[in-house]
Amino acid sequence: MSQMPAPTRSERQFTLGLLALDGAMLSSLAGPTDMLRVAQKLAELRDPATPLRFRTSIVTARGMDALRCSGGLRIEGVVCEPSDPDVLLVPGSMHGSGSELISRMQQLQPEIDLLNAMFRRGVKLASSCSGAFLLAEAGLLDGRRATTAWWLDAVFRERYPRAQLDIEKMIVEDGPITTCGATSSVMSYVLKLIARVGGEDLAQQTARILLIDPDRQSQAPYISQALKEKPRHSLGERIEQILNKNLHESLSVAHLAEQVGVSERSLLRHFKAQLGSTPLEHIQHLRVERAKALLETTHLSFDEIVERCGYSDSSSFRKLFKRATTLTPADYRERFRLRPH
């Protein structure tokens, strides 16, 4: 009597689509691709008969057969996939300024049409770094929570006021759309995808192989106000000059409004429109930034730093610092202080 063949487990295939954008950062394409390949290999080593099939594909809205990445490197063999991916990821792209990035978004109507079409068909969408700008340009982030690269905070808020930006979050998932923060945050997102498809243990093994911290949740420790791109605004520039000059002193909304020659109501309206915060919240941000710089570059005690930041109560400033950066001042200094070579 002949033996019946053993039943085979049905495949569990997951395809991550990568949107073809000229000027895309190579790390936004190669990083997720390599991670899924590592996860696939680990799954096969654990179980040679694994039904898991992780793959990536480059999806184009223009019928191109090659993709030019940032730095001029070309990826050949771009093809139109016959079926939709499970998730379509919009990569970050290299740019010299926020205005240059916005200008580029306005030239991507074929990609915008593709994103909207896939969204209507039920494809989940995601973005890496500045890729959130394209999702917002397509209107897909209106009324949704989102994040992007932290230095583009003010530019994004000004261009897309209907999106609910949470710049401190590394990953924001709102229904079928996920946005990731600055460049490497997409790696944390791909780990989440691996966990959902292949299990938490496979994601943890992948993270260990690639030395990725799966517990990173926030961009806050890395945010530098000095490097944030801000919209050009004469009133805003005058305000920043006054604040930076007098940050060690007691500051009030009334005094600041008087210094720049506007009413308190106009000042509050400016801060809400340009920075999405109140004047006092912005002053707190600047004081935390000064504390971060002093922790990184000096050996001053924390009490001395608190005094230079315009606070008299070290305990309350410690709580503010922890809330803003997710780290205690001591932990922040240990992680980011300048070290001799």
Task: Identify whether residues 239 and 113 lie together within a single domain.
Answer: no
Based on the fold, state whether residues 212 and 128 are members of the same structural domain: yes
Is 65 inside any structural domain? yes
Q: In angstroms, rounded to a whole number, what is the distance separating the alpha carbons of residues 54 and 193? A: 10
Helices and strands per DSSP (H, E), number in the chain: 14, 10
How many domains in the chain? Answer: 2
pTM: 0.69
261 Ramachandran zone, left/alpha/beta (phi>0; psi -120 to 50): left
Give me the domain span that covers residue 127: 12-220
> Which CATH number does the domain housing residue 89 bear?
3.40.50.880
- Find the range with the poorest average confidence among 6-15, 41-50, 252-261, 310-319: 6-15
Do residue 164 and residue 19 come from a single domain? yes
Concatenated DSSP letters for 248-298?
TS---HHHHHHHHT--HHHHHHHHHHHHSS-HHHHHHHHHHHHHHHHHHH-
- Do 83 and 202 belong to one domain? yes
pLDDT at residue number 244: 75
Q: What is the CATH number of the domain that holds 328?
A: 1.10.10.60
Residue 50 has a pLDDT of: 93
Please tell me whether residues 193 and 282 are part of one structural domain.
no
Same domain, 50 and 163: yes
pLDDT digits (tens, 9 = 90+) for 104-143: 898 999 999 999 999 999 999 999 999 999 999 999 999 9
